[in-house]
Amino acid sequence: MRAEVLQVTFQSFYALDIGIRGTTFALYIRRGRALGQILREVTQCYTLLSTGRAVSRTFKDVLLSALQYLGTYAASGVLAIIAFYLSLLSTSLPPARHQRAAIDRAVQILEEKGYDREVWLIRHTVTFRGTDHWLNFFTQKENAYASTNFPYQIITVYPDFYTKAVDDTERAMVLLHESRHLLGENENQAYAYVWKQRKNLGWTISTHGTTESYVTIEQQTRENAPELFNCPDKPWDDCTE
Ligand SMILES: [Zn+2]
């Protein structure tokens, strides 16, 4: 039987023809090198709706074939993602032991301050790196402390995280910012969230207002989240004061 009414092409290698002639439906599925070849060389023909038994067996076969194809593509996609992720890890170095200890202390502060979701993500999904992988060379760095590759959950920590930040509370502030990227937030959202959280974090103008990191982050927050600084009745126009 050969009657084409509807044709669905899976990528460039698979075609599904659903035909109708009179009261009989027919379905063709064929793998070929080109669509033209598929149209010319239909070799498998299943008659649907002619008998109940034939219908159930044919539909099952077609469904299994479709799932098999989808499974093949899905597996290929997963393998490609894993290969990409491993290439990021293989072209960068992990933090040194003393650097890792500073990271852990900062995460501990976040936990003590009640940032359970962020801490869980950092501890269970993140791979920390101490040097840039190849992808970071092609992306603009947001600041000198750390950067996050979402959704690969890789946080690269730079020397300023250990030297420019004056204590673990400032390092916790940096990781709180990065953890918001782990949730898919953009710069506006991440900067705004940390700025609103600075009192709870214990990183305020009274405790850290004179540090280089505080001055830098405030300026970056004003640039990335200007909506927080349009309150003329508040000190420094800061709506969170
Ligand atoms: Zn950021």
Q: What is the 224 CA–ligand 1 centroid distance (Å)?
A: 10
Name the E strands within 151-232.
Answer: 154-157
Q: Within this chain, do residues 203 and 233 fall inside the same structural domain, yes or no?
A: yes
165 or 3: which leads in pLDDT:
165
pLDDT tens sequence across 121-130: 999 999 999 9
Average pLDDT, the chain: 81
Q: What is the 143 CA–ligand 1 centroid distance (Å)?
A: 7
Whether the predicted pLDDT of 172 surpasses 80: yes
- Residue 1 in any domain: the answer is no
- Residue ending a domain, among 66, 90, 114, is 90
Q: What is the 89 CA–ligand 1 centroid distance (Å)?
A: 20
Specify whether the CB–CB gap between 163 and 171 falls below 8 A.
Answer: no
Q: Which residues pair with 30 in a beta bridge?
A: 15
Q: Within this chain, do residues 102 and 215 fall inside the same structural domain, yes or no?
A: yes
pLDDT tens sequence across 215-224: 999 999 999 9
> What is the pLDDT averaged over residues 171-175?
97
What is the distance of C-alpha 47 from the center of its chain? 44
Q: Within this chain, do residues 30 and 117 fall inside the same structural domain, yes or no?
A: no
Confidence of residue 142 (pLDDT cuts 50, 70, 90): low
Specify whether the CB–CB gap between 22 and 40 falls below 8 A.
Answer: no
pLDDT of 136? 87
Q: What is the 156 CA–ligand 1 centroid distance (Å)?
A: 12
pLDDT of 56? 60
Q: Which of 197, 147, 141, 142 is nearest to 169 (CA)?
A: 197
In the chain, % of residues over pLDDT 70: 75
Specify whether the CB–CB gap between 173 and 128 falls below 8 A.
Answer: no
- Residue ending a domain, among 60, 90, 120, is 90
Q: Within this chain, do residues 86 and 101 fall inside the same structural domain, yes or no?
A: no
Q: What is the 99 CA–ligand 1 centroid distance (Å)?
A: 20
> What is the pLDDT averaged over residues 43-57?
49
Specify whether the CB–CB gap between 146 and 161 falls below 8 A.
Answer: yes
Q: What is the 84 CA–ligand 1 centroid distance (Å)?
A: 22
Query: Residue 161 burial (CB < 10 Å; 0-12/13-18/19+)?
Result: buried
Q: Give the whole-angstrom CA distance, residue 192 versus residue 156.
A: 21
Specify whether the CB–CB gap between 127 and 154 falls below 8 A.
Answer: yes
Q: What is the 180 CA–ligand 1 centroid distance (Å)?
A: 8
The answer, as to whether pTM is greater than 0.75, is: no
Q: Within this chain, do residues 46 and 108 fall inside the same structural domain, yes or no?
A: no
pLDDT tens sequence across 57-110: 677 888 888 888 888 888 888 999 999 889 898 899 999 999 999 999 999 999
Q: Give the whole-angstrom CA distance, residue 171 versus residue 161.
A: 6
Question: Letter for the amino acid at 16?
Answer: L
pLDDT of 53? 54
Q: What is the 186 CA–ligand 1 centroid distance (Å)?
A: 7
pLDDT tens sequence across 6-41: 444 444 444 444 444 444 444 444 444 444 444 443
pLDDT of 37? 42
pLDDT of 45? 42
Residue 12 phi, psi dihedral angles, 5° rounding = -115, 5
